[in-house]
Amino acid sequence: MTASKSRNTPRPLPALLRRAILESIPQQPFQSGEVPPKYLYLPRAHLRALQLDSMLVVGMRGAGKSFWWYALLDPAIRSVVLGNDIAVGGGFGLKSSRDWPDRDELNKLVKANQQPRLIWKTIVLRQVARTEMPEDWEGAVEWVASQPSRVAAALREADEKLRQGNKKHLVVFDALDTTAADSPLIESALLRGLLQLVVELRAFSSIRAKLFVRPDMLDDPKVKDFTDSSKAIASAVHLKWSTADLYGLLFQYLANGDDDEASAAFRDLTGERWEYVSLAWCVPEALRDSATQESVFAGLAGPWMGMDRRRGKTYTWVPNHLADAHDQVSPRSVLAAILGAAVHGIPDGHPSALHWKGIHEGVRAASKYRVTEIAEDFAWVHRAMELLRDLVVPCEKARVLGAWKKPLIKEWKDGKLATRLGAETSDGEFLESVFNELQRVGVLQVLRDERINIPDVYRVGFGLRRKGGFTPRE
């Protein structure tokens, strides 16, 4: 089944193309990683992350960790990505399941002095082998701890059975940042134990584990303090999104929305031949090319972020203003921005589905969403950035530290600022730690002239001003 359209045919009405956006991107987007199979888009850079032997996958918030976790658990998607000879089970994640303990149970087990590695090993063992372990998690972990020979034999037998049947079993872990019940020590211990296990399972031919984590979770030295940790860390695969892949994902959504007429109009706009394969209309190879994408997006949003070229191209403006200090862009930030632009609407008689003023509003909405995400990961960040609201960036580092000095140090000493920055011994060390942490997670950026900048994806949402930049809304 194919769809094609000549580039010389009349373009569909802007309202119809705007409907393609509104009926494909969810109105309250991305509460979890669970995404309908028709929106599956696989960047080539992510192929290695999904391979069986890639045991550690690292990505920023919104890079697709939970999406791929869910995708690998979905039989229809898994068969496309990995084939039919690999069974996949969840080891931990946002989706509730009897196959793994929830956060409260995990914390209870750790506090009962159960080794985290054995907790995770119990989860894997239950999936791949029949044993006599107790039904309850506490009893099961105690059984695994007390029966090392029987556990080893059960795993070897399961591995051999899988090998003889030319099968593999993969257990996938996600959302480790939700396991800690606000305790960095417990989170680090659980992550360290899981890394130990994924390395240990490499001794088998047919049993594997895969772990999805944020990069900051690997920064604690305790996490990597075990023999052979380098085998996991050095082989980590990073989920990164190029501009071409960000637009490829957007096009996958627009081509497969719930409004068939509107999605067909978008496919016609591209002028390319689309094929319907199994689950969805698949992005043609030509639409993975930046130059072709730019032409298509100009058909949706016009070529310029203003009346002429002086304000820049719409195609590059969107990802440029959604990049963090490490030049990384979250795909759901892009989707949220385009959705926000469509919701904003267009002036009467405007020839495109999106207006550049609407794109401004969409990026503002995406920035607010991104700020909410970073605050969920690091509660103290919101307070640190709130104290910078009177600054105009770029500015000198001394002005940033000065804005923090009295209020932030007082709150830290009073125990009202819950940070994960370590045991600083002086006020100066504390402020430097806050600065370095914000720089590390991509909120602050040190420019070549040593001034401090805050990328728009955070600046706008936190309500800061920038010289020559578009402004946040109060």
473 falls in which pLDDT band (50, 70, 90)? low
Separation CA 409–CA 417 (nearest Å): 9
Instruction: Give domain status of residue 222, yes or no.
Output: yes
Instruction: Give domain status of residue 14, yes or no.
Output: no
Look at residue 7 in the predicted model and tell me its pLDDT: 47
Among 183-197, 202-216, 257-271, 277-291, name the one with the lowest average pLDDT: 183-197
Which has more pLDDT, 246 or 110?
246
Question: Quick check: 296 and 251 in contact, CB under 8 A?
Answer: yes
126 falls in which pLDDT band (50, 70, 90)? very high
State what percent of residues in the chain have pLDDT above 90.
Answer: 61
Q: Is the pTM of this model over 0.85?
A: yes
Among 136-140, 149-153, 183-187, name the one with the lowest average pLDDT: 183-187
Look at residue 405 in the predicted model and tell me its pLDDT: 93
446 has pLDDT over 60: yes
Instruction: Give domain status of residue 304, yes or no.
Output: yes
In this prediction, residues 371-388 reach a mean pLDDT of 89
Look at residue 379 in the predicted model and tell me its pLDDT: 82
| 396 and 256 together in one domain | no
Look at residue 31 in the predicted model and tell me its pLDDT: 54
In this prediction, residues 39-49 reach a mean pLDDT of 89
Look at residue 306 in the predicted model and tell me its pLDDT: 82
**pLDDT tens per residue, range 295-314:** 999 999 999 998 777 778 99
Instruction: Give domain status of residue 284, yes or no.
Output: yes
Rg (the chain; Cα; Å)? 24
341 has pLDDT over 90: yes
Among 28-42, 227-241, 340-354, 444-458, name the one with the lowest average pLDDT: 28-42
In this prediction, residues 448-470 reach a mean pLDDT of 90
37 falls in which pLDDT band (50, 70, 90)? confident
474 has pLDDT over 50: no
Give me the number of domains the chain comprises: 3
Look at residue 366 in the predicted model and tell me its pLDDT: 93
| 332 and 388 together in one domain | no
Instruction: Give domain status of residue 37, yes or no.
Output: no
118 falls in which pLDDT band (50, 70, 90)? very high
In this prediction, residues 49-54 reach a mean pLDDT of 90
Which has more pLDDT, 194 or 421?
194
Angle at alpha carbon of residue 21, lines to 338 and 266, rounded to 5°: 115
Angle of the 260-270 helix axis to the 14-22 helix axis, nearest 10: 120
Residue 389 CB partners (closer than 8 Å, separation 6+): 462, 463, 464
Look at residue 32 in the predicted model and tell me its pLDDT: 55
**pLDDT tens per residue, range 246-288:** 999 999 999 999 999 999 999 999 999 999 987 799 999 999 9
Q: Which of 238, 262, 283 is the last residue of a domain?
A: 238
6 falls in which pLDDT band (50, 70, 90)? very low
**CA 178: distance to chain centroid?**
14
| 104 and 218 together in one domain | yes
Instruction: Give domain status of residue 25, yes or no.
Output: no
443 has pLDDT over 90: yes
Q: Per the structure block, which two tokens stand in for 334?
A: 């892009």
Task: Give the torsion sign (CA, 381, 386, 391, 397).
Answer: negative
CATH number at residue 115: 3.40.50
Look at residue 304 in the predicted model and tell me its pLDDT: 92
| 159 and 255 together in one domain | no
| 176 and 228 together in one domain | yes
| 203 and 120 together in one domain | yes
Q: Which of 337, 357, 373 is the last residue of a domain?
A: 373
| 232 and 252 together in one domain | no
- Which domain does 444 fall in, by range? 379-466
State what percent of residues in the chain have pLDDT above 70.
Answer: 92
| 187 and 156 together in one domain | yes
Q: Which of 311, 345, 373 is the last residue of a domain?
A: 373
| 146 and 220 together in one domain | yes
327 falls in which pLDDT band (50, 70, 90)? very high
Question: Quick check: 357 and 467 in contact, CB under 8 A?
Answer: no
For 133-182, the three-class secondary structure string (H helix, E strand, C coil) is CCCCHHHHHHHHHHCHHHHHHHHHHHHHHHHHCCCEEEEEECCHHHCCCC
| 246 and 196 together in one domain | no
Query: Average pLDDT over the chain, rounded to whole?
Result: 89
In this prediction, residues 142-146 reach a mean pLDDT of 96
| 215 and 284 together in one domain | no
Helix (H, G, I), strand (E, B) or coil at 68: helix
| 51 and 107 together in one domain | yes
Instruction: Give domain status of residue 253, yes or no.
Output: yes
Look at residue 273 in the predicted model and tell me its pLDDT: 95
Listed in order, strand segments (DSSP E) in 41-167 are 56-58, 86-92
Query: Which among 11-15, 403-407, 466-470 has the top mean pLDDT?
Result: 403-407
- The distance between the two most distant Cα atoms of the chain, rounded to a whole number of Å, is 76
Instruction: Give domain status of residue 33, yes or no.
Output: no
27 falls in which pLDDT band (50, 70, 90)? confident
